[in-house]
Amino acid sequence: MKRIIVPILALVLSFNLQAQPKAHEGSTDFQKTSQPAAIIELPYAEATVEKAVDEYMSKKGVRGADSRDFKVYRGYKINSSQDHNSDLYFKAERKSRRDKDICTLYLVVGRNGEDIKTRTDGRASLDGATDVLDDLVATIEAYSLELQIKDQEELVKKGQKKFDNLVGDSVDYVKRMKSLQDKLDQNRKDRDGQQTELKKQNDILDVLRGKRKN
């Protein structure tokens, strides 16, 4: 059996590795111009990706700022071999209205302070851009997992609260049942006593009526 399981596990791991999102080069609209961009499709919601990117860059010591449809992180050195810092422009777009949990992440790169829309040759600016996106995948996966854990914790918390309320209700119902049982028992005793008293009074009435006939 073990001989069968091991190859299956290896096949599953191999498939997961092959299915790992991979960045490629392409282009995107940037302030009414078409600019080279590193692109990656991710199986996550747009908001999740945006927040994960922001967290990733914050840990690198770079804060983001809104720049029209993009969020820009300025003064970031993509790799140590470069002699300049870069401005990274990220944009996450939902793949389609139907695929709300799939989005495309674009990265446009320019030299620090460069007015990208005016440049004529942007191809060299993509050096290292796909590596940045590929490196982001693990961070986005971890961030998405943390969101799922928090959501699940909230569901468990709500479920526990509902269960505790039901337990509290059951305790209250048991108390009410005991109280009703006590009342029922007392009612039974009262009925028995009243029945005895009623018989006694009926006997007296019969005696009195007997006297009237005589």
Which residue ranges make up each domain of the chain?
A: 21-153
What span, in angstroms and rounded, lies between the C-alpha atoms of 13 and 158? Answer: 35
pTM here is 0.68
Q: In terms of DSSP H, where are the helices of the chain?
A: 2-19, 46-59, 129-213
Q: What is the pLDDT of residues 107-143, one digit of tens each?
A: 999 888 888 888 766 555 687 899 999 999 999 999 9
What span, in angstroms and rounded, lies between the C-alpha atoms of 60 and 77? Answer: 10
Question: What fold, for 21-153?
Answer: Alpha-D-Glucose-1,6-Bisphosphate; Chain A, domain 4 (3.30.530)
What span, in angstroms and rounded, lies between the C-alpha atoms of 74 and 112? Answer: 6
DSSP 126: G
Dihedral angle, C-alpha 196, 197, 198, 204, nearest 10 °: 110
Q: What is the pLDDT of residues 168-192, one digit of tens each?
A: 999 999 999 999 999 999 999 999 9
On the CB side of 141, CA atoms within 13 Å amount to 9
Gap between the terminal Cα atoms of the chain = 105
